[in-house]
Each structure stands twice: as structure tokens, then as C-alpha cells.
Amino acid sequence: MIPRLVIAAPSSGAGKTTVAVGLMAALRRAGHTVAGFKVGPDYIDPGFHAVATGRPGRNLDPMLSGEERVAPLFAHGCAGADIAVVEGVMGLYDGALGTEGYSSTAHVSKLLQAPVVLVVDASAAGRSVGAVVQGFVAYDTGVRIVGVILNKVGSDRHEAEVRAGVAPTGIPVLGVLRRDTRLTVPSRHLGLIPADEQREQASTAVDAAAELVRQGVDLEAFIAAARAAAPLDVTAWDPAAEVTPAEEGRPVIAIAGGPVFSFRYAETAELLTAAGADVVSFDPLHESLPEATSALYLGGGFPELHAEALSANVALREQVAAEVAAGLPVVAECAGLLYLCRELDGHQLTGVLPAKGQMTSRLTLGYRTAIAASTTSFFDEGRRVRGHEFHRTTVEFDEGVPAAWYLPGGQQEGFARSQIHASYLHLHWTATPDVPARFVAAARVHAGLEK
């Protein structure tokens, strides 16, 4: 029984992230231990959640993890917390294209039996906000909207007019937030700049959001609404129950981190640890591979903005190339794929893959169903998975290289050979726990712990 609320909105841009982060931080400052979550595959918002809560930010994504795992993953992420705040994605009822709202914020709220607070941008409306609220309440009565937070309100007179419009709906106004320029966080081609890249600015923005919420939101009413959530009959997801570690010896799996490789799910390291590995993070901008590294995981991020600095760490580039040539198992997703190329925008990188990457103006975004093109240490040929792409770069491979995936329509994607699997696709490994188990097994072989 964890008090919980979902922060939703009629559309993107209404201020969900500001409100959710501000609530998480304000609740923490009030003495609560807060678990923060984000609906969907987003990597950037959970970074701000982590700054606000002091705990890992986590994703809830029925499309990638499977809807049956959403509540167990939520319960796992709530361990030790006394309240949970779930930030939604897009508009409340917006899900995967071509579905009836699958993976939407509304879908996740139902899976969690969690009440919803609707954040409405009132900057360009008055009494009409009431019609918006009434429409969202009536659209799906299986979604329980228990409050409204009015955002970007201009004045006391404006606030009175909006409140008058909302009053007939019967939905209480839990807070009113004024415009605040301190909340502006720098953005770039894929959205906000991750918190890992601008820690001081991120902390300043989180502090400003917390103060805005403290002044404008009735925290006691918010907590009361969260406590009114129905009991959730669920067994928490447990990474130790997904894998069986070997009895002796723990190989070291290096995970790229730092400001460049900040996109990865919290459960990735948890699964690798449970499968019997010692997971060690390192920063490819400045550091070498950790001592006794027996496998390498390169996640997502923004290598295109740090290509020159990555290239300047010549020792690591040469070390990675030599270790992979000697059989080091490596899984690379998106940014990791680019780092393994010969070059990125003319800057020399590791050269593990016969390919070059470059920045483009075209955004590639969306869920993908993929089929493994060959058998490797991590996937068997024909294995079907769901992944997500989110990038503005492209990779050009030399002719005849072995692909990682077949995508719909026969398109080939990525690179796979024996102990190397590199692709633009991000996977949520909770849906494929055999993959981290096989990753650790390959690391054990490379470390000489198994034949």
C-alpha cells in the first residue's frame, strides 16, 4: 500500500515535468521518501527525478517491459519510499500510434490503480479550462482524476476566472502555479539537456520548481489524494528471481556513464548484478576501462555533442578496440553504437565497427519490433524483441557487414557478430532477462571463470 499519484496533462508542453519534479522535491524537503517514475521510454526526465528525490528515476513502459510487469516494477521502485509520484507522457490518453491508448499515461494509471492529477496550462484560457477538465474526466471513467493543478496563471484575477470555470466539474484545484523564468532548463535537438550534463543548472531548476510547488500547491491535500489510492495487490519485481548466478567468481562488467552515456534503465545494472557480475561505471570522456573488465555495456546519450572530447581520450579508444578484438563481449545501444564506429562527424573513435556516424537533421523516433538477424552471445537468430529508437544521427556501414536486427519491411539495422551486438535500439531488459544472464555468462568465459 503505497500512496501514489500520476501527474498528467491534456497535451505535451503543459508543464508536467516542472510540476512532477517540483512535487517530488517539495515532498522530499517536507520529510518524505519519494519514489519517482516516468511513463514511457524517456531517459531525460528520470534524471531530473533523481536530482529531486535522491533515488534512481525509473520508467514504466508497457510497450517495452510488457504490461504485466508495470505494477511489479513500480512496487520494486517504491521499496523504502512512503509516497510515489508518476510523471505521465504526452497527453493523458495518448499512447502508441495505431492502438487504443496502449502505453499511455491513462493505461499506466489503470495498471497501477493510481489516481490522476491533471496539470492544465491556463496561460491562454479562463473559464474554458473547466470545459477541458470536464472533457478529460468524462472521456474515460476508468481513469480517476482527483485534482487539477493550474499552471502558468498570470494574475489573481486570472486565477479567480479559471477557478470559477473549474468549480462546476467538482474536481478540486490542488494548486495554482505562476509563470517563473527560473524554471527554464536548456534544451537541444532531443529535448532537455540531461541532468548529468548540467548538474548545477539542474539542481537550480529543481530547487526553483520545489519552491514554486511549495508556495502554490496544497501539499497536504495532494498527500491525502495519494493516500486514497486503492491497495495494489502485486508482488514486487525482483531481479534475483529473474536470473541464476554462478556459484563462484564475479566478472566485472563496465558500464559507460558520465555526461555522454546517461541514457540507461536502472534495472539494467540491477539485472547484471543479480546475474552474478560486479557492475562498475566509468566515464569515457576521461577514464580507462575499469580494472579486470570482462564485458562492456555502452548505453545511450549524446556522443554527437562530445565527439571531439571522446576522440581525445586516445588511450580508451585504443584500449576498447584492442580488448574487443581480443574477445571482450560488448553490447552497445544508440550512443554506444556510434562510439564503436571508426568516426563520428569526422572525429576518430574506436573503429571496432566498419562504419562511420554523422549528425543529421532528421529525427528517428518510435517503438520498433525487431528480429535477431543471427545468433550471438546475447540473442538467438529469430528472436523477436521490442525496442525504441530516439536519435538524429545515422550510421553508414561498409558493404556486407552482419546486421543485428531485421526490422519490418526487411530493413536491416545495427551490427552483430559473436560477442558484439551494436544497434540503435534501446531494450528494456526486464522483458528479456535471459539477455543480461547471457551477457554475464559471456563475461565469465572471457574472464576465464567458465569454459
Rounded to 5, what percent of the chain is helix, strand, coil?
A: 35, 25, 40
207, with CB counted inside 10 A (0-12, 13-18, 19+), is middle
Residue 117: strand, helix, or coil? strand
Looking only at the bridges linking them, the beta strands covering 355-372 and 405-406 are antiparallel
Tally of CB atoms within 10 A around 101: 17
User: How far is residue 300's CA from residue 185's CA, in Å, rounded to a whole number?
Assistant: 21
Backbone angles phi, psi at 74, to 5 degrees: -60, -50
- Considering the candidates 334, 349, 352, 425, report the single residue annotated as catalytic: 334
Sign for the CA dihedral angle at 301, 196, 264, 439 comes to positive
Phi-psi sector, 351: left (phi>0), alpha (psi -120 to 50), beta: left
Nearest alpha carbon to residue 73 among 124, 37, 117: 37
Nearest alpha carbon to residue 105 among 150, 45, 186, 51: 45
Backbone angles phi, psi at 218, to 5 degrees: -80, 90
Active site residue 334: yes
Backbone angles phi, psi at 158, to 5 degrees: -60, -45
Q: With residue 118 as reference, give the H or E element that holds it.
A: strand 116-121
Catalytic residues: 334
